[in-house]
């Protein structure tokens, strides 16, 4: 589509200005076709950047540079003219200064490369809940991933030609090629030159220096959360870091559930749940992001703005998430995994014994005796959501699905019970605002430290988080008695000896069943200082051989331990200064009173 004539003047002008700045060898307009994908992938195979996988049809593996393996939070900026608007949880940079620095880096940064223009839709093309973005990039790896993760192509160009608004997303790997210079297998800029910058007042994203994941696939965290959260606040909707699933009971009633969990808390596993209780069915609408608007009937409706899964590979197995494993059998991209001698990918905790020999993510020989892991801890798969065996038939419904239940959660070995229902919307916002997890090896920081991650949005909220909490209260006021019910879960309770108290995985459906029956008014809840807990007879334990003392411990509220939490919550709230909503402070005071 290099001969495409753009009829959207604003877009055409931006592309021309970017080309003048970045000086690419050529400009290519992406059409989103299979032929385009296959051609770009063949080019990357020929250059040695991509490796076809013999064992998986139309699947390819990439190895990134060891300096470019994950989102770089300390190089990610939220840029408002007034630093206060970015808030205490974001890195801030003055817009003029940041743009001047990056414009210097962009000067000639695409020399010797093709500049790809990717028109894409977040959400079903043409839906009132969707947004259009245009990403300019010099990375064919990014183009192929965006093919899977978003909706690229003619339908989006048609809307742009009719004058549709778009969010400009500029990306470069920051590795210009001099004449005759051989390209690297993963070109990128050094860490000190990486910038992932957001200008929420202009709906603008600039990214430089990294070719990996959320730093480069700008539809994902950059647009769908950081920019979208700011747009959603202005326009009166919600952009959340949440899975969406449909649960259908034996009578055929559908419940739609969204859930926000920090990393390493089983979010993707829950999105693709296989219930262990007879007659209940789960279908996946989305595993990572939910955009929600109030519908004509006053209820909250959600879409998954993405078209694919960009999942962490290590730990994914048929034991932990069979539906994810079935989703990546073909037409998928793998990054920083190990490669077996048979020509397949492998990572830690995959099913079966490890291979006797493999090539690790750095391209070195690996055996089970090696001291380093075979796959990088943040190795990824990119797969079309349509390939998930339990994808919901309505996952692309333009009007979205009506939400009945919000779930928050975290990884806590003690203190927090298996499940708690909020007393009301304000109490539910308090639960989300105080969500916390004990850090694991996958998180930054010492293992076992308590890290508060409000609404699992800490790295993704595009404005001051105190204002974000207030936006939740405003949405609740508008929803009134049609607001979803709010619950908090903790699948990770342990005994004093460090053994799991709850089996988790498919058995989490038992907890979801109680939530659905609470919505229907079929079961009760015991009032406690921290919220409503299930009566033990109301949790469906059929077929589960769980010792009675385990269940008692899972549903216990230790008031002493909860009192000890209060100072940490108070300290957490102090961060937000005078922008902390008084309603949140009131919830803390009420919890303190209930605890006595």
Question: Which element (helix H / strand E) includes 449?
Answer: none
- What is the structure's pLDDT at 445? 47
Residues of the chain with CATH 3.90.228.20: 239-304+395-595
- What is the structure's pLDDT at 224? 98
Full strand arrangement of the beta sheet holding 60-62: 50-52, 60-62, 333-335, 380-384, 308-312
Beta-strand pair 401-402/380-384: unpaired
Candidates 3.40.449.10, 3.20.20.70, 3.40.50.10890, 3.30.200.20; CATH matching 9-30+65-235 = 3.40.449.10
Catalytic residue, chosen from 59, 265, 388, 392, is: 265
HSE-CB of 22 using CA atoms within 13 angstroms: 32
Could you give the CA distance from residue 153 to residue 114 in angstroms, rounded to a whole number?
18
The pLDDT tens digits along the chain (596 residues) read: 566 889 999 999 999 999 999 999 999 999 999 999 999 999 999 999 999 999 999 999 999 999 999 999 999 999 999 999 999 999 999 999 999 999 999 999 999 999 999 999 999 999 999 999 999 999 999 999 999 999 998 799 999 999 999 999 999 999 999 999 999 999 999 999 999 999 999 999 999 999 999 999 999 999 999 999 999 999 999 999 999 999 999 999 999 999 999 887 889 999 999 999 999 999 999 999 999 999 999 999 999 999 999 999 999 999 999 999 999 999 999 999 999 999 999 999 999 999 999 999 999 999 999 999 999 999 999 999 999 999 999 999 999 999 999 999 999 999 999 999 999 999 999 999 999 999 754 444 455 689 999 999 999 999 999 999 999 999 999 999 999 999 999 999 999 999 999 999 999 999 999 999 999 999 999 999 999 999 989 999 999 999 999 999 999 999 999 999 999 999 999 999 999 999 999 999 999 999 99
Residues of the chain with CATH 2.170.8.10: 309-384
337 is catalytic: no
- What is the structure's pLDDT at 444? 44
Which residue matches tokens 């070995």?
A: 413
Show the CA angle centred on residue 292, arms to residues 286 and 293, nearest 5°: 150
Could you give the CA distance from residue 42 to residue 47 in angstroms, rounded to a whole number?
9
Secondary structure in 3-state letters for 39-93: HHHHHHHHHCCEEECCCCCCCEEECCCCCCCCCCHHHEEECCCCHHHHCCCCECC
- What is the structure's pLDDT at 226? 98
- What is the structure's pLDDT at 448? 64
pLDDT in tens, 139-170: 999 999 999 999 998 799 999 999 999 999 99
Second-level CATH architecture of 239-304+395-595: Alpha-Beta Complex (3.90)
- What is the structure's pLDDT at 439? 76
Burial (CB count <10 Å: 0-12, 13-18, 19+), residue 4: middle
309-384 — its CATH code?
2.170.8.10
Residues of the chain with CATH 3.40.449.10: 9-30+65-235
Beta-strand pair 405-409/254-260: parallel
- What is the structure's pLDDT at 2? 60
């Amino acid at each position: 589509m290099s001969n495409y004539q753009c009829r959207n003047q604003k877009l055409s002008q931006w592309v021309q200005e970017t080309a003048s700045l970045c000086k690419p060898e050529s400009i290519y307009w992406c059409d989103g076709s299979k032929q385009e994908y296959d051609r770009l992938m063949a080019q990357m195979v020929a250059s040695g950047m991509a490796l076809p996988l013999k064992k998986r049809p139309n699947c390819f593996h990439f190895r990134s540079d060891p300096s470019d393996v994950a989102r770089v939070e300390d190089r990610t900026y939220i840029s408002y003219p007034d630093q206060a608007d970015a808030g205490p949880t974001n890195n801030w940079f003055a817009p003029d200064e940041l743009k001047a620095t990056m414009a210097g880096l962009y000067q000639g940064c695409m020399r010797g490369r093709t500049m790809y223009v990717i028109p894409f839709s977040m959400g079903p093309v043409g839906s009132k809940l969707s947004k259009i973005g245009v990403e300019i990039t010099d990375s064919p790896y990014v183009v192929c991933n965006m093919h899977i993760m978003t909706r690229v192509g003619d339908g989006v160009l048609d809307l742009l030609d009719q004058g549709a608004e778009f969010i400009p997303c500029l990306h470069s790997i920051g590795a210009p090629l001099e004449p005759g210079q051989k390209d690297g297998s993963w070109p990128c800029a050094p860490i000190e030159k990486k910038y992932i910058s957001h200008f929420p007042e202009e709906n603008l994203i600039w990214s430089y220096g990294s070719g990996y994941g959320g730093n480069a696939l700008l539809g994902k965290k950059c647009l769908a959360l950081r920019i979208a959260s700011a747009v959603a606040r202005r326009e009166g909707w919600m952009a959340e870091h949440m899975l969406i699933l449909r649960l259908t009971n034996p009578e055929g009633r559908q419940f739609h559930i969204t859930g926000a969990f920090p990393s390493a808390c089983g979010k993707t596993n829950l999105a693709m749940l296989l219930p262990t209780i007879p007659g209940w069915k789960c279908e996946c609408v989305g595993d990572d992001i939910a955009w929600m608007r109030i519908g004509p009937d006053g209820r909250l409706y959600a879409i998954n703005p993405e078209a694919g899964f960009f999942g962490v590979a290590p730990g994914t197995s048929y034991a932990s998430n069979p539906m994810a494993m079935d989703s990546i059998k073909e037409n998928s991209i793998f990054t920083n995994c190990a490669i077996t001698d048979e020509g397949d990918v492998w990572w830690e905790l995959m099913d079966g014994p490890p291979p006797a020999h493999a090539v690790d993510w750095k391209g070195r020989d690996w055996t089970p005796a090696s001291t380093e892991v075979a796959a990088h801890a943040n190795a990824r798969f990119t797969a079309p959501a349509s390939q998930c065996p339990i994808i919901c038939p309505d996952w692309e419904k333009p009007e979205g699905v009506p939400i009945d239940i919000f779930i928050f959660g975290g990884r806590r070995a003690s203190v927090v019970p298996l499940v708690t229902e909020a007393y009301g919307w304000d109490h539910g916002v308090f639960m989300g605002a105080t969500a916390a997890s004990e850090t694991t090896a996958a998180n930054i920081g010492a293992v076992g430290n308590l890290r508060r991650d409000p609404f699992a949005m800490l790295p993704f909220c595009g404005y001051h988080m105190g204002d974000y909490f207030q936006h939740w209260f405003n949405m609740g006021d508008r929803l009134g008695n049609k607001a979803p019910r709010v619950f908090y879960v903790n699948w990770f309770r342990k005994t004093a000896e460090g053994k799991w108290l709850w089996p988790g995985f498919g058995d989490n459906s038992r907890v979801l069943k109680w939530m659905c029956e609470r919505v229907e008014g079929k079961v009760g809840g015991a009032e406690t200082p921290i919220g409503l807990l299930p009566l033990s007879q109301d949790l469906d334990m059929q077929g589960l051989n769980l010792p009675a003392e385990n269940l008692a411990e899972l549903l216990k509220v230790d008031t002493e331990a909860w009192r000890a939490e209060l100072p940490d919550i108070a300290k957490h709230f102090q961060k937000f200064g005078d922008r902390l909503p008084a309603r949140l402070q009131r919830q803390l005071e009420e919890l303190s009173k209930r605890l006595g």
